[in-house]
Amino acid sequence: MRLSERVRRISMSSTGAVFAAAAQLKAQGVDVVDLSAGEPDFPTPSHVKRAAFEAIQDDFTRYTPTDGIPQLKQAIVQRHARDCRSDYSTREVLVTVGGKHAIFNLTSALLQPGDEVVIPVPYWVTFKEAVHYAGAACRFVPTSESENFRVTADRIEAAVSPRTRLILLNSPNNPSGAIIREEEMRKIAELARRRDLLVLTDECYCHFNYEGSTPFSLASLGEAYREHVAVVGSVSKTYAMTGWRVGFCLGPAPLIGAMLKIQSHCTSNANSIAQKAAVAALGGPQDSIQDMLREYALRRSFIVEALNSINGISCNWPDGAFYVYPNLRGLLDARRVESTADLALQLLQEARVAVVPGEGFGTRDHIRISYATSMEQLEKGADRLARFLGKG
C-alpha cells in the first residue's frame, strides 16, 4: 500500500518497540525484568481514583468542551502558578490527551516545511518524530557527558539559524535526567526573545528533582517572555496516571487557539472521567509526589552504584526524572557488539532484561534504564546484567 510521504518520514517509538517485545515474552510466560518502561510503578492516589468513581456515578460521561472542563483548566493554571510561579489565565491552557498529544498539537500548529527546531541531545524519542511529521527539520545540539548532559545557552545559540522557529527543551530530561541550570534557562529565554523564537519546555518530570530545589520554569519569567514560552505538562508521571491520558499545554493564547483547532478535528476532549480525576490530582493533597521521590532517590543510588560496579560501564548521577543513562562504550568494544540496539536485543533474549538502546535518543554509546520499578525488580535486573555483561 502506498502510504503518505509524511508518515514515511517517521518511525515507531523505540521505547514502545522494546515495551512491546518485552510484553510479548512475558505473555509467553518468560520471566523478563522490564527496565524499559517510563512509568511509575506506584498506584494512582486513592482520592484521585475516588473522583473518577464519582464522575461515573454522576454520569459525567459525555463530551466536554474540547479544550477541557473549566474546573480542570483552573486547576492546571493554579497548580502551575503555585509550583512554578507562573501567571497564566484559563485562555492560555489546553487540556490534551497526555503530554505527548500536546507536543504533537504544538508542532503541527507551529511548524511547516523549511522550518528548523533546535533540540539538545539526548532527547526524548517523540520530539524528533513530531518535528519530522510536521515537515520541519531538527538541528541537534550536543551536550557533554562530563557536564551531566546539561545543555548551555551558548550551544543552543550556535545551532540557531534564520530558519529556526522553535527550541525544544526537556528538563529534567528523558533519558539523561539532566536539569538545565537556571542561569542557562534565563539566557535561552533571552535568546528566544531576541531572535523571536518559541521555546517549548517539557516539564513532565519537573517534580522529580534530586537537588531539592523547587523546579525552575521559564513560565516564571513574566510578561516580556510570554510570547516566547510554551509549557507542556502532564499528570502521567507526577501522579502515577500514565493510563488516564491527561496532559496540557500552557502558552500564548493564539498558539493555544491554533492547537485547539487541530484537536477539535482529531481527538476532541480528553476523557471526561479522567479530567475529573486530574482535577482531584492537581487540586488535592500532593504528598504522593514526595513519597515517590523518596523511593526513586533510593533506587537511583542503588542502580547507579550497581552499574558502575560492572566493568566497561560508566553511569552518571542523574539530576532528576527516573532514568539512568549509562555509557557502555567500553563494553561494546570489549564484546565487539556493533550498537547498543544489538546489545539491548541480546540483553532481552539472553539475560531477560529489557532496556532501551540509546540510538532512539540520539546517542550511540548509551542505554536507558528506568528505575520506576520496584527495588526487587531492580535488584534482580542488576544481578542479571552483572552476570551477563560480567561474562565479557
Ligand X SMILES: Cc1ncc(COP(=O)(O)O)c(C=O)c1O
Give me the residues that bind ligand X (CB under 6 A), please: 38, 98-100, 124, 170, 174, 202, 204, 234, 236, 242, 247
Nearest approach in angstroms of CB 100 to ligand X is 3
C-alpha of 179 from chain center: 13
Distance between CA atoms of residues 103 and 100, nearest Å: 5
List the end-to-end C-alpha distance of the chain, in Å, as a whole number: 45
**Does residue 175 have a cis peptide bond before it, meaning omega lies within 30 degrees of 0?**
yes
Dist CA 9 CA 30 (whole Å): 35
In whole angstroms, give the CA distance from residue 257 to residue 247: 16
Distance of closest approach, residue 168 Cβ to ligand X, in angstroms: 10
Question: Residue 219 corresponds to which cell in the numbers above?
Answer: 513560565
- 236 or 340: CB nearest ligand X: 236
Helices 272-283, 46-57: inter-axial angle, 10-degree rounding? 140
- The closest residue (CB) to ligand X is 98
Least distance from ligand X to the Cβ atom of residue 235, Å: 7
Preceding omega of 113 cis (within 30 degrees of 0): no
Least spacing, CB of residue 11 vs ligand X, in Å: 17
**Residue 107 or residue 234: which is nearer to ligand X going by CB?**
234
Contact 143, 120 (CB under 8 A): yes
Cα angle, residue 291 at apex, residues 290 and 295 outer, rounded to 5°: 110
SS3 324: strand
Count of helix runs (H) and strand runs (E) in the chain: 14, 12
Residue closer to ligand X (CB basis): 358 or 389: 358
Burial of 133 (0-12, 13-18, 19+ CB in 10 A): middle
Spatial separation of the C-alpha atoms in residues 353 and 94, rounded to whole Å: 38
The rounded Cα 377 to chain-centroid distance in angstroms is: 22
Distance CA 88, CA 239 (A): 22
**170 or 316: CB nearest ligand X:** 170
Closer residue to ligand X in complex, CB, 38/326: 38
By the 8 A CB rule, do 338 and 345 touch? no
Nearest 5°: phi and psi at 139? Answer: -115, 105
Q: Minimum distance between the CB of residue 332 and ligand X, rounded to whole angstroms?
A: 25
For ligand X, which is the closer residue by CB, 49 or 193? 49
Closer to ligand X by CB, 234 or 316: give it.
234
Looking at the Cβ atoms of 242 and 286, the one nearer to ligand X is 242
CA distance 281 to 364: 38
At its nearest, how many Å lie between ligand X and the CB of residue 338? 27
Q: Which residues contact 164 (CB under 8 A, 6 or more apart)?
A: 115, 116, 117, 118, 139, 195, 197
Nearer to ligand X, 100 or 139 (CB): 100
CB nearer ligand X, residue 320 or residue 381: 320
